[in-house]
Structure formats: structure tokens, C-alpha cells
Amino acid sequence: MTDHMLYLDITKSYGEFTLSCEATFDQGITAVFGPSGSGKSTLLDSIAGLTTPDSGHIAAFGETLYSSSPRKNVSPEKRRFGYVFQDSALFPHMSVEDNVHYGYRLTPAERRTVEMDQLISLFQLSALLERDVESLSGGETQRVALARALVTSPRLLLLDEPLASLDAAFKGPIIRYLARIWKDLQIPMVYVSHSMSEVMALAHNVLVLSDGAVVTQGRPSHVLTHPNVTALADYATLENMIEAEIATPDDDDSATILQVGPTRLTAPPSGHHPGTTVTFSLRANDILLALEPPSNISARNILEATVQDIQISGSRVFVSVDIGAMLTVEITPNALQTLHIESGQQLHLIIKSTSIILLDTPA
């Protein structure tokens, strides 16, 4: 138990539904994935102390938080976990600054590991501080909610589908902010989602639930192709969510040029200025693989890539390739055999510019 950041073995029943879950979470970002009604939010609330399990044990950072025998149940505020709800739950009668500062004032000075100025800079809130929260966009609201949860210097951040209510144009910044919470602040997260695309973009480890039971747990690429996950994941909508920088726009047709490491991609016009950091999405089944660079083709993006991993699940094959960032490409078993694809192989990707969707609204 003590070898892991978080350990739980609990049961909780509501009518005919029972959550029965034993799992261990380590440092980094752990995703809890599953369809609606699988028990994800019940699990998160149990970790937070907002829901009391019927039986079992929960321990975090070597401390028992809940035990049915001997009886123990640490109150939510003493667990020192941050929680970001789907609807953000900001105080409507307070300004942005007051919302963020509220938790900071309640945190003893000796327990503060995160400072207000640090979060205001991280989430780019300076221009929003005097705003009424009801005037914020969806993306701005989630940035404030994240800052308010982190200003209490939590040991662990719990997130219940924070992207579910956002339009696609607001998702990019939040994905980048979530990644920076772990990178810059080293605060571990438990991230609940029903989107495998979000899981692949953010998580280091994934726990899959279905009907209140654990299906599997492991690295995202392996969980993706687990036989029992096939019926739960919508592979047709599986997207790569990749961070990029706006390079010099293509003056010939007003397209946008994206820089991903050493690789450049042509995307539709965006309205973003050169140097702007953005996140784009690209469906795994919208990418074609070729052994040689094709000619006389309408697709604007012909990219060199290196095969890193191959995962097979029934009639689906997922190939992980490196273009300066990792992309997941879905192909058929027949294509895998015909092209003789192997790890370490150099391939060419064919991507239509219209398949690239920016997840950032222009400033």
C-alpha cells in the first residue's frame, strides 16, 4: 500500500448498482475511463471524502483516509485534495480574484506550496481578475476553477470530466494547462473522463470501469487495445490532441502552418498570430501510411515518421508514430501485413489539411 500514492479497495451500493473497485494510483496523471453510469464519479467522490463507501479501505501518501474496520473516515477538508467539478461550481457573487483568493486565505501559511502569483501567471488570469464570473466563457471559467482548486496547495487534484461541457474551440488551452499542472507544479491528478482521446492526450496511467467493476488498468496505449475495452471506447472518434506553434502563415492560400518539433503541417486558416501555442486534433483514422512519399496527390501534408509501437485489437491496429510528437494511426490488419510495418521503421504519413482541427479560439 505504502509503495503507491493512492490505494483503494472499496464497495459502494446505490439501489441495484454497486461499485466494487480495488486499484493503485501512482504519481502523475491517472485517468479513470468508462461509459456513463460505470461508477467513475462515485469513485472520485469516495477519494475526496464526499461519499462514504459501504466497506473497504482508502489510503493516500501512506495515510489511511477511510477504513470500515477499524472504523476511520477523514473529513474532506483534512484530506487536502483539490476538486474540479464538471460545472466548475464557482461562487457567482464573487469576482474572479475573490474566487481564487478564497481558498488561499483558508490555507495556513506553513502548508502553502503554491502561490497566488504563480497560478495567475500559469493560467493567464491577470486580465480576468476583476471580472464577474458569470461573464466568463467556458474556457475562462475552467481556468479559474483550476486555479481555485490549486491555490489551496492540494496534495492531489481530482477532476470530474472538466472538458465535457466545453466547446471544441476552448478545449486546447485547458488540455495544455492540465499537462502543466503536473509538469510545473508536480501535483498528481485523478482525471475522470468518458473520452479515450482525452485519456490518450493526458494520462500516464488508466483505470477502466464498467458497470461498477474494474475492467483493466495500465498504460493508455495498452488499455486502448484491451479486448474488454473494445465495447466501451468509440474508436471512430479517437483523436490525437497535439500541441503546436503557429509558424509563418502560407500566403498562397491563407492556410496556417503548424510547427510540431521539427515537423511542419499545413492546416486550414486559423486567425492565430505566428508564435501562438495551440492544440490541434487529428483523428487516428484520418491518417494514411505509405512506404514511399507519394506524388501527384492533393493532400497537403506528406510527413516522415518513425514507428514506435504497434498494438492490435481484433480488426483494429493502432500504430504509434513519432513526428516530433506522438501520433496514433489506425489501420487495418491487412494494411499492417501488406506494408510489413515494424517498430523502428521509417514511414510517410499522408494527412489532408482539412483533417486538422484547431482546439483554440483566436484571441
Confidence of residue 1 (pLDDT cuts 50, 70, 90): very low
Indicate whether 40 and 58 sit together in one domain.
yes
Residue 110 has pLDDT above 60, yes or no: yes
User: 115 with 211, same domain?
Assistant: yes
The pLDDT of 309-338, averaged and rounded, is 93
Q: Is residue 29 part of a domain?
A: yes
Total structural domains in the chain? 2
Q: Residue 225 belongs to what domain range?
A: 6-233
Tracing cell 508536480 back to the chain, one arrives at 186
Phi-psi region of 43 (alpha: psi -120 to 50; beta: other; left: phi over 0): alpha
Q: For residues 129-151, give the mean pLDDT.
A: 90
Which of 76-85, 221-230, 315-324 bottoms out in mean pLDDT, i.e. has the lowest? 221-230
Among 199, 217, 233, give the residue marking a domain's end.
233
The answer to whether the peptide bond before residue 269 is cis (omega within 30 degrees of 0) is no
The residue out of 209, 233, 257 marking a domain boundary is: 233
Q: Which of 173, 199, 233 is the last residue of a domain?
A: 233
Check residue 42 and give its pLDDT: 97
| pLDDT at residue number 166 | 84
d(CA 161, CA 41): 9
Same domain, 95 and 206: yes
Contact of 39 with 19, CB cutoff 8 Å: yes
Q: Is-contact 241 201, C-beta < 8 A?
A: yes
If you average pLDDT over every residue of the chain, what do you get?
Answer: 92
Q: What percent of the chain has pLDDT over 70?
A: 98
Any domain includes 363: no
pLDDT band at 2 (very low <50, low <70, confident <90, very high): low
- Asked whether residue 43 falls in the same domain as residue 125, the answer is yes
| Full strand arrangement of the beta sheet holding 346-351 | 288-290, 346-351, 301-313, 316-322, 326-331
pLDDT category of residue 92 using cuts at 50, 70 and 90: confident
Q: Same domain, yes or no, for 47 and 196?
A: yes
| pTM, entire model | 0.89
